[in-house]
Amino acid sequence: MRCRQELMRNTVIRLGAIALSTLLASTLSVRLPTSPAAFTSTRLTWGADAFAQRSGGRAGGGSFRSSPRSSSPSRPSSGGGSSRPSGGYSGGYSSPSRPYGGGGPVIVPVPAGPPPVYYPPGGYGGYGSPYPTTTVTSGGSWIVGLIILFLLGSVGLPMIFAFIHALTQGSRAGIQRGDQELFNDIFTVSKVQVALLAQARSIQDDLNQMAEAIDTSTETGLLQLMQESVLALLRSPENWSHALVSSETVNGFEKADSLFSTLSLQERTKYSVETLTNVGGRRSSKTFTVNPDKGPASYILITLLVGSAHDQPLFPAVHSVQELQLALQKLASMPAEYVKVFEIIWTPQDPGDVLTYDELLTQYPDMVQL
C-alpha cells in the first residue's frame, strides 16, 4: 500500500504513568478552554446546521476527595486521603519510571470509622456508668451493684456491640463497593476510535493546541487532556462517520501493560511520521512535507486509549451515534483515581495532510459505519 509512505502525520500524546498518590482534586477541576480557533471554523463549515453557536460559561471547582474528612487525623487512609498508595501502572515503553513495579493492591485501607476511644461516651454515658462505681462502693450493697451490672450487661453491652458491629459492617461494605476496584490487580484497557469527516478540521487544531499546552507529566494534565478531547468529540457528533470501540478487562498489571502497548503500537504503526508528540511532559515536533498529489481530505481519525482500574469492561461494541456518545461519556466520566494511562493518537496531524477514504478502508478495515 502506498499508504505507508503517505499516511503519516500524526500526533501521539502519550502519557506515562501516573502515580496515584496525590489527593487529586483533579477530575472536576482542571479544564483548559478548548482552542479558540477551533469551534469558530467548525461552524463555518456546518452550513446545514440549523443551530447557531452556543457559547457557554463555566465556573466551579472542588473535589469529592478533598472533603473535610480527609484532613481528619482520626481517619488515616479511609476515604482516599493523601496516604493512599499508588497502584499505578505506566503506559507503554516510553515511560522511564514505573513507580510500583507490580502495581495492584498495596495496602488495604483501615476500616473507616472513629477510633475506639470514641465508643465509651455513646456506650456508657447514657447508662450512667460513673454512677454505679460510686453508689456501689459507698453503699456497700453488692446487690445493687449486681443489678446495675446486669442492666449494663443486658442493655448497654449489646448496644455497644451493635454499634461496633454496625460500624465495621458499614466500613467493610464501603471498601468493597468503593475501593476494591482501585486496589486489586485487575485493569481494563479501552479503546475508542472515531473517524470524523474532514470538515471537522477544527478538532485537529483543538487537539494540536491541547498537545502543545497541556502538561502530560501530571495526573491532572492527563485527566484534563482526556476530558477535553472527549468533549471536543462530543461537540461534533454530526461529523462522526465511523467508529470502533473495545474494552477488555485483564487480570494483572503486566498483561494490562502489554495490551495497552500493543494497541498503541498498532495505531502508531499506521502512519510513518509522528509530527507532534507530548509524552510524559516531553514535547517534540517534526516538519511534514505535504504530498500535493493526494486526493481531497476526507477523514480525521482519532484514537483514545485508556488504561483504568475498572474490574469490568466499560462498554460493549457500538453501532450507532447514541452508543458512541454513551461510550465517550463513560470514558470521560470515570473518577480521577481510576485513570492509570491515557493516550490520544490522531491522524492527520499536519493541517496540510489528508487521510483519504481509501486509506481509511485499508488501514482501518474494522471500523463500523455509524
Partner 1 sequence: MTESDQVTPTTVSDELSNDVMTVTRLQVAIAAAESPAQSALTKLTLETDTSTPAGLFDLLQQVTQLLLEQRDTWTHFGASSESFEAIAAAEERFNQLSLQERAKFSAETLTNVDGVVRQKTEQAEPKTETDGYLVVTLLLGTAHDAPLFTEVTQVDQMRDRLQTILMLDPAYLLVLEVLWTPQQTDEVLSAAELETYFGDLGAIA
Query: Interface with partner 1 includes 42 (CB under 8 A)?
Result: yes
State the helix-helix crossing angle for 321-333 and 219-234, rounded to 10 degrees.
Answer: 160
Using the contact rule CB under 8 A, the part of the chain among 46-54, 94-102, 130-138, 269-277 near partner 1 is: 46-54
Q: Alpha-carbon distance 275 to 10, whole Å?
A: 5
Closest CB 228 distance from partner 1, rounded Å: 10
Do the strands 368-369 and 11-14 form a parallel or antiparallel pair, or are they unpaired?
Answer: unpaired
Interface residue with partner 1 among 16, 80, 156, 307 (CB under 8 A) is 80
User: CB burial class (10 A; 0-12, 13-18, 19+) of residue 94?
Assistant: middle
| Part of the chain binding partner 1 (CB under 8 A), chosen from 72-80, 150-158, 279-287, 292-300 | 72-80
Smallest distance, partner 1 to C-beta of residue 281, A: 19
With binding defined as CB under 8 A, does residue 170 bind partner 1? yes
Cell numbers at residue 150, please?
446486669
Query: Rounded to whole angstroms, how far apart are CA atoms 40 and 220?
Result: 27
Q: Is 69 in the site for partner 1 (CB under 8 A)?
A: yes
Q: Decide: 310 and 180 in contact? Cβ < 8 Å.
A: no
- Is there a contact between 193 and 305 (Cβ–Cβ < 8 Å)? no
Q: Which of 205, 267, 274, 337 binds partner 1 (CB under 8 A)?
A: 337
Residue type at 21 in one-letter notation: S
Integer Cα distance of 316 and 329 in angstroms: 13
Q: State the binding string over 225-264 for partner 1 (x if CB under 8 A, else -).
A: --x--xx--xx-----------------------------
Closer to partner 1 by CB, 198 or 226: give it.
226
Assess 75 for contact with partner 1 (CB under 8 A). yes
Residue recorded with cell 482542571: 30
133 contacts partner 1 (rule: CB under 8 A): no
CB burial of residue 325 (10 Å; 0-12, 13-18, 19+): middle
Of the candidate residues 117, 130, 177, 293, the single one contacting partner 1 (CB under 8 A): 177
Binding-site ranges for partner 1 (CB under 8 A): 25, 27-34, 36, 38-40, 42-43, 50-69, 72, 75, 78-80, 112, 114, 170, 173-174, 177-179, 181-182, 227, 230-231, 234-235, 329, 332-338
